[in-house]
Structure 1
């Protein structure tokens, strides 16, 4: 999100409501944002994703790939009510952007379409909303392309939702095309006009019959939570319209139902009706403040996103839960550490406009708050306080090794990676001590690709990326006794160290043990630690080229010279003894085995099992995923060498929604052709 901080603007009066646009990849969220902005006269002409002229997805990476890769924020005013829309990426690889945004919104518009393949992705998003008790409505987009009855489409989508999807409208059909809609709450019919508000028409007898049937179904859902309405339906009494609207609003806000609207964002159909519903039914910021702060009622801001801009520095995007914030104010990070606002901005697409103050409900960018992170709470007093409304970072599923192409850029690369990880908590940066590599890990191929493009485009870095080395190890199957002497004379004091070692195998997982049975001072006590240092250094790279584990080393004998012996001499003697002794101990390669838990839709479980088996995995079993109807969790043990690009194959087999977690379990012997192949690959990687 490359924000330009050179513009100027001011905040309108009133407490805006903040609405997230969420939904599966390709469902039309960015198009809906554009339609909302056009309908509210915020933009003169509705752009399209195909023409790459939308307010959202204007970042270079989004334009290059034709998809949302970050939050897009825009404000609009409709009939004197002010809204802030936050368009969230729909790809599973960028859902962490949505995670942060949900901590600062009043309602989510879930954008979906008539596509059974996207139901698991829809469930991922609805689960996140349900877990946080976010009020939500569903906008069934691309109604102009659907060939099925809306109720049939809802039957397909319903398994993704834990609460009933309740139709608020039914379409008016003409020659197989949706030409308008009937509002079931108002009992009025409207006809669409291309990118213009719809107009009211009279219902024909056939449509009125359909409307009565669909409205009764809607009322039945509402009556499940309203005894008075249930009694009225049983007695065939027409309910009061105000009561119906009150039930629709209250049950939606309480998370008991998910009302469903429909239309075509591309053509602007259904947008005015959606805006009217948002105007009357979206809760104010007080409901969000209650979720974030609990019973602690005080002025605070919730940080939902961190940005590092090229020219404006760091920006912390935050929702004002209560109170008023001004440029130059002192705030308290989680109620404790004082931080100062150095610049206050409103955001519209890629533009940040400087403002003086922002009031309750506003979504603003705070400048240069270096210690503030996404998810933090900023308070106006010093009582310790932290957000109750944070999401855990999504565990990474794909990693790449990364380095600066030129050594002089290593410090710049380290700083840039830290900024990327701060902007996106689902990116992790780590150092593998065994392979001496910097690892960039994230949510998938595209996620890592976008990060690499930002390193090149935003930070001007030339980088090298490659598959991470597998941290193989080695051990021995037998023992030996060996004596080696380090002796060197080159004028003045020489070097002399003489050691006898017993080398033997240990059970798996025991590590390295060093002991000594020296007696009589044949090796002076002050030199024994040096022998140990030499042994441990030599074990860092065994005969096969990997760290040696599960061995015991015992110093049994040796000799010294009163003048020429030194710490360095005995260290070198220990190194020589290990290097020459280990090849006699039948070295064997060890590969790391990971405990893997894979989550996938049940219909794909058989495919996933086959993928695991083909990658030398040992299936431990599978069970229903707790709290996820229609999903399974598969447990397996898999070699780390087979996990590198596992997510690519899993996503291909599951319509892009599978995920997994992995943790080290044990080291296992690897022999035969598998070991030869591992050694060959490792040799090529090391050469590279």
Structure 2
């Protein structure tokens, strides 16, 4: 029997662009509900959200923060999400566990486009959401212009739920478009009802008619009433708002000033009346699941100094009790979060968001169940890393601790990745941007006492040859006490087609090189090709052993390996070695208005445009496909975001190797020679 979901609760994410005021809104929501007695501020670094030191140092959210409050008998769990695009993975991972989202934005039309990727994610996952236009005390445009700009980036119709009342450039109140009651705001108190401002009657009437028409698109009865000029009852309008918001069919819009608590109480009231209950969300998410076991999903992983590992989970079905075993792991404890403060509880029901301690081996996105055979709930797609730094521990003795610390770092933040590069032998940390990696490095230093030095990763250049040479002689003769060493070979060297790699063969006749020594020849050739005459690994080369001689006593496989190296050392410089660079295939996603700028950005970095096309399920956005030298990739994401208001992104993968233009190759080789041959120049 399924445990009944707690309908007296709501799980609400607070999302929106960087600097829109999300953490300030959370502080106001907690203050208005009485969960905190005094509001903190981002500037003073004393808010419930952004409690991590990395966030306070930068005065920006760098991970999700959870906080609970009660309002009119309903428990709200708010999830404050980062706004920077570099921490979008945090936001997306948390969003799939909530019942509704508040999208916070500013009344600045030029910045509205930054909401487009967020709106698309919400609609792709059918997550109900409403918009809170914050900082209305700084608005210098008409409210209808803001609404028009917002509608252009949302695939769902936006409907004003309120009409703001302005006193000059200050927000002084609002008109509720359902009841048509006007209110004035007061600092530190609920808004008071006031007489309807007649000067706004025409604008309010038009906004209300637009709201009703949008709702009528999904309700035939309401449509009939509007066609017959019948005033619909308020209960019917509220019922439609609840139904259509819950199905992600419409997006209600509210206005306010979170810093002054203006608009926060009406927002809370709307969440109570119109946001879907956890039961509704669970029915939609679990519609294809027939399992009655307890089900939860991990939205975020934390490593805390006091509590160790914490897994923030949404309970979808059943209940969590103290000591419960999920996925074969006994939970260490159940906690409600208030920023970094923990409140232990013994039991929670379906519909709650809580933290479980000591869930070792469990990762963000995992489905937890009391049934080992349970199905997996859908996970958020992993964002691909687009920016990298090579990292080295400041203290050599710390190298042994690095992999364990990075493993924990990646559990906390799955949008990071790391690799030990096979060619350059560097440890490379990948992420979503420069700030993202700096936050990760701060965590390594603070949490794990692992300070790092960093540099840009070396470009994994290769080299190849342009022409063949034959009968290159290599003889190794070494005499010391006892047996000597003797190996003698003749090699043919020729280029292969791009991407064919390496081929070794032999045409030995008459046993001039005994069979048991031929593997040593191949080993010697391969070892030499790891570091060619230009200083880089050699590719696309064929080597044939054609002749040689041996000594019945002094020859050995080791001697023939050395002879082969000597032959390659002589022969390869005769084959016109040339430098190759890795070329990546990129697919850039951008608003159509920036498409031409992005194509110029690609070609300006020695890129080649292969084509572009509109994205079929995202109106006003294009995909541009092209080739880009990997040497030009390092800051590409920085410039791309700069050119596209921060919303451009790209997918990349290695495609092929290509000869470096001669003048550029000269500069690279000169730099490579000057820095000891580490290949770290573009």
Tell me the TM-score normalised to structure 2 length.
0.96
In the TM superposition, residue 621 of structure 1 has moved relative to its aligned partner by 2.3
In the TM superposition, residue 145 of structure 1 has moved relative to its aligned partner by 1.2
1:186 aligned residue: 179
2:196 aligned residue: 203
Provide closer, same or farther for how the CA distance between residues 37 and 413 of structure 1 changes in structure 2, counting only shifts above 3 A.
same
The 3-state SS of whatever aligns with 1:104 is coil
For 1:272 and 1:477, the matched residues in 2 are separated by 74
Say yes or no: does 1:257 pair with 2:235. Answer: no
Provide closer, same or farther for how the CA distance between residues 656 and 686 of structure 1 changes in structure 2, counting only shifts above 3 A.
farther
Provide closer, same or farther for how the CA distance between residues 377 and 686 of structure 1 changes in structure 2, counting only shifts above 3 A.
farther
Computed over aligned residues only, the root mean square deviation of the Cα atoms, in angstroms, reads 1.5
Whether the 8 Å contact between 1:485 and 1:499 is mirrored in structure 2 is yes
The 3-state SS of whatever aligns with 1:172 is strand
The 3-state SS of whatever aligns with 1:458 is helix
1:498 aligned residue: 488
1:446 aligned residue: 435
Out of 311, 317, 322, the residue aligned to residue 317 of structure 2 is 322
2:3 aligned residue: none
For 1:377 and 1:229, the matched residues in 2 are separated by 41
For 2:404 and 2:535, the matched residues in 1 are separated by 32
Residues 229-269 of structure 1 deviation map (CA, whole Å, 9 limit, x = unaligned) = 11111111111211111111101111111011111101100
Trace 1:41-56 onto structure 2 (pairs within 5 A). 41-56=34-49
1:301 aligned residue: 296
Whether the 8 Å contact between 2:245 and 2:275 is mirrored in structure 1 is no
1:359 aligned residue: 349
2:532 aligned residue: 542
For 1:585 and 1:206, the matched residues in 2 are separated by 86
The 3-state SS of whatever aligns with 2:260 is coil
1:118 aligned residue: 111
Unaligned runs of 5+ in 1: 1-12, 333-337
Residues 125-151 of structure 1 deviation map (CA, whole Å, 9 limit, x = unaligned) = 111101100011111111111122222
Whether the 8 Å contact between 1:612 and 1:638 is mirrored in structure 2 is yes
Residues 475-498 of structure 1 deviation map (CA, whole Å, 9 limit, x = unaligned) = 111122211111111101111111
2:448 aligned residue: 459
1:242 aligned residue: 235
Say yes or no: does 1:287 pair with 2:280. Answer: yes
Residues 74-93 of structure 1 deviation map (CA, whole Å, 9 limit, x = unaligned) = 00000111100000001110
1:510 aligned residue: 500
Whether the 8 Å contact between 1:118 and 1:655 is mirrored in structure 2 is yes
Whether the 8 Å contact between 2:22 and 2:80 is mirrored in structure 1 is yes
For 1:488 and 1:79, the matched residues in 2 are separated by 92
Provide closer, same or farther for how the CA distance between residues 390 and 684 of structure 1 changes in structure 2, counting only shifts above 3 A.
farther
In the TM superposition, residue 189 of structure 1 has moved relative to its aligned partner by 1.1
The 3-state SS of whatever aligns with 2:206 is helix
Unaligned runs of 5+ in 2: 1-5
The 3-state SS of whatever aligns with 2:127 is coil
The 3-state SS of whatever aligns with 1:57 is coil
Residues 148-185 of structure 1 deviation map (CA, whole Å, 9 limit, x = unaligned) = 22222100111111011100100123234321001011
Say yes or no: does 1:215 pair with 2:215. Answer: no
For 1:341 and 1:246, the matched residues in 2 are separated by 41
Whether the 8 Å contact between 1:103 and 1:292 is mirrored in structure 2 is no
Out of 313, 321, 329, the residue aligned to residue 308 of structure 2 is 313
2:600 aligned residue: 610
For 2:385 and 2:120, the matched residues in 1 are separated by 19
Whether the 8 Å contact between 1:55 and 1:349 is mirrored in structure 2 is yes
Whether the 8 Å contact between 1:14 and 1:82 is mirrored in structure 2 is no
For 1:572 and 1:626, the matched residues in 2 are separated by 60
In the TM superposition, residue 99 of structure 1 has moved relative to its aligned partner by 1.2
The 3-state SS of whatever aligns with 1:160 is coil
In the TM superposition, residue 686 of structure 1 has moved relative to its aligned partner by 4.6
Residues 506-562 of structure 1 deviation map (CA, whole Å, 9 limit, x = unaligned) = 111111110000111111111111111111011111000011111110001111111
In the TM superposition, residue 203 of structure 1 has moved relative to its aligned partner by 1.2
Residues 632-671 of structure 1 deviation map (CA, whole Å, 9 limit, x = unaligned) = 2222211111111111111111111211111111111124
Trace 1:102-141 onto structure 2 (pairs within 5 A). 102-141=95-134
For 2:132 and 2:674, the matched residues in 1 are separated by 52
The 3-state SS of whatever aligns with 1:530 is helix
Provide closer, same or farther for how the CA distance between residues 196 and 601 of structure 1 changes in structure 2, counting only shifts above 3 A.
same
In the TM superposition, residue 685 of structure 1 has moved relative to its aligned partner by 5.2
For 1:177 and 1:405, the matched residues in 2 are separated by 53
In the TM superposition, residue 426 of structure 1 has moved relative to its aligned partner by 0.8
Out of 149, 154, 171, the residue aligned to residue 156 of structure 1 is 149
Which is further off, 35-44 or 288-297? 288-297
For 1:513 and 1:178, the matched residues in 2 are separated by 75
In the TM superposition, residue 385 of structure 1 has moved relative to its aligned partner by 1.4
In the TM superposition, residue 212 of structure 1 has moved relative to its aligned partner by 2.9
Whether the 8 Å contact between 1:15 and 1:361 is mirrored in structure 2 is no
Whether the 8 Å contact between 1:104 and 1:288 is mirrored in structure 2 is no
The 3-state SS of whatever aligns with 1:563 is coil
The 3-state SS of whatever aligns with 1:391 is coil
In the TM superposition, residue 41 of structure 1 has moved relative to its aligned partner by 0.9
For 1:554 and 1:376, the matched residues in 2 are separated by 53
For 1:435 and 1:553, the matched residues in 2 are separated by 25
Which is further off, 350-359 or 676-685? 676-685
Say yes or no: does 1:70 pair with 2:66. Answer: no
Trace 1:136-147 onto structure 2 (pairs within 5 A). 136-147=129-140
In the TM superposition, residue 684 of structure 1 has moved relative to its aligned partner by 4.9
For 2:179 and 2:91, the matched residues in 1 are separated by 33
Trace 1:429-444 onto structure 2 (pairs within 5 A). 429-444=418-433
In the TM superposition, residue 626 of structure 1 has moved relative to its aligned partner by 3.0
Whether the 8 Å contact between 2:7 and 2:278 is mirrored in structure 1 is no
Out of 406, 414, 427, the residue aligned to residue 403 of structure 2 is 414
Out of 543, 553, 557, the residue aligned to residue 567 of structure 1 is 557
Residues 187-220 of structure 1 deviation map (CA, whole Å, 9 limit, x = unaligned) = 2111001232111112133344443332222111
Whether the 8 Å contact between 1:109 and 1:137 is mirrored in structure 2 is yes
